[in-house]
Amino acid sequence: MWKINITGKGAEGNRIRTFGIYALCVILFFIFSNIMIDIALKATYDPIDTYKTEPIGMQIDITEAKATYVNGYVGGSVTHTNEVMSTAYVKIDLYSKRDVCMGTKYVELNHLIPYKSREFRMGFQYTDVDYARITVVDEIPENTPEEAFESENLAGPMLIAAVIFLCFFG
């Protein structure tokens, strides 16, 4: 396949070649493990039911709504058919199998233009979510915490750091 030509005196060339092969093996293992972790995580997500309440002049399309036992995400698009709106919010209420509200998340949509779709995606970390109720609201309650607007990062730097840690110390 590839031929590495390293010249050196005596065993020095062999050590460099061996080090290069080890470095290549570590890099390939890192890439392989990231791909396999991504596949394994996506396989654990199950679809959840979504119920939408569409106000007059709004259309909500849910493209994905999946959850594991401890986290999940809801994504879709909102199309507005009335005049230009300065701000609207997608309200996502997450419920368990026993109709207990596990939490509420909000996605802020700024400057909605008529007949133009706006994509949204919100991650959450609630236990045992069975279904979601999605609505579009003009205002939010005053006592809404900041965490309700933050999407939970389900992958990224923490996942990569965990893989690196496990590769070296696991």
pLDDT tens-digit map of 145-158: 777 777 665 555 66
CATH number reported for the structural domain that contains residue 115 in this entry: 2.60.40.3230
Residue 40's domain spans which residues? Answer: 12-44+159-169
Q: Is residue 4 part of a domain?
A: no
Indicate the pTM of the whole model: 0.66
Q: Is residue 165 part of a domain?
A: yes
Q: List Cβ<8 Å contacts ≥24 apart for 66-72.
A: 67/124, 67/129, 68/44, 69/127, 69/128, 70/125, 70/126, 70/127, 71/123, 71/124, 71/125, 71/126, 71/152, 71/154, 72/45, 72/48, 72/123, 72/124, 72/126, 72/129
- 20 and 70 part of one domain: no
pLDDT of residue 33: 93
Q: Is residue 31 part of a domain?
A: yes
pLDDT of residue 4: 59
Number of domains within the chain? 2
- 123 and 163 part of one domain: no
- 61 and 137 part of one domain: yes
Res 95 pLDDT > 90: yes
